[in-house]
């Protein structure tokens, strides 16, 4: 008896879970996508900040080198001018590389940038709508189950009482059966 009851409960539970599986999966997909996009945005922002810092650093290095150049030029320091000339080429390449990396980081950030607050609010609104719809549906399912259980309980009770009443006072069709019953008692 209990095995059958458990199977019935499992089937009912599975049917109810199946009813909401699509909604749950949609909400979970939305959450995963929001997290993925937020992580991409965070990574792109970090890359952009590093590229900006590198661009500032090489720009400051170039300014410092130019100051050294003018100091050496006015001081007529040929050795310093020669050293600065060889450093200037590699610094100019570093500046171009940093500017390219910065531009690439800006473009990448613009691609992945989104308004997290607005999209988060929209997703929360969607989640609330799904929750309300599920709440209504669960209410209907509860009401239906309560009605079915009450009806079944009433049918079982009526059948049980009918059987009980029938067996409580046996009816004897003939007087011979009644006489036989009295003799056996």
pLDDT score of 100 more than 80: yes
Residue whose tokens read 């009918």: 162
What tokens appear for 97 in the block?
């590389």
Determine whether domain 1-114 maps to CATH 1.20.120. yes
pLDDT score of 180 more than 90: no
The Cα 111–Cα 163 span in angstroms is 77
Lowest-confidence pick of 24-33, 66-75, 104-113: 66-75
CA atoms within a 13 Å half-sphere pointing along the CA-CB vector of 99 = 7
């Amino acid at each position: 008896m209990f095995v059958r009851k458990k199977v019935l409960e499992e089937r009912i539970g599975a049917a109810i879970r199946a009813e909401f599986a699509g909604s749950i999966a949609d909400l979970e997909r939305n959450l995963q996508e929001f997290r993925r996009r937020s992580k991409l945005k965070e990574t792109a922002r970090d890359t952009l900040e590093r590229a900006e810092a590198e661009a500032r650093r090489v720009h400051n290095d170039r300014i410092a080198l130019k100051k050294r150049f003018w100091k050496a030029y006015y001081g007529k320091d040929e050795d310093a001018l020669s050293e600065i000339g060889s450093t200037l080429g590699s610094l100019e390449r570093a500046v171009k590389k940093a500017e390219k990396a910065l531009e690439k980081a800006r473009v990448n950030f613009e691609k992945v940038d989104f308004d997290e607050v607005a999209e988060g609010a929209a997703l929360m609104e969607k989640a609330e709508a799904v929750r309300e719809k599920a709440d209504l549906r669960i209410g209907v399912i509860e009401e239906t189950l309560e009605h079915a259980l009450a009806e079944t309980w009433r049918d079982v009770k009526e059948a049980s009482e009918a059987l009980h009443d029938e067996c409580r006072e046996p009816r004897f069709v003939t007087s011979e059966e009644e006489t036989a019953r009295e003799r056996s008692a």
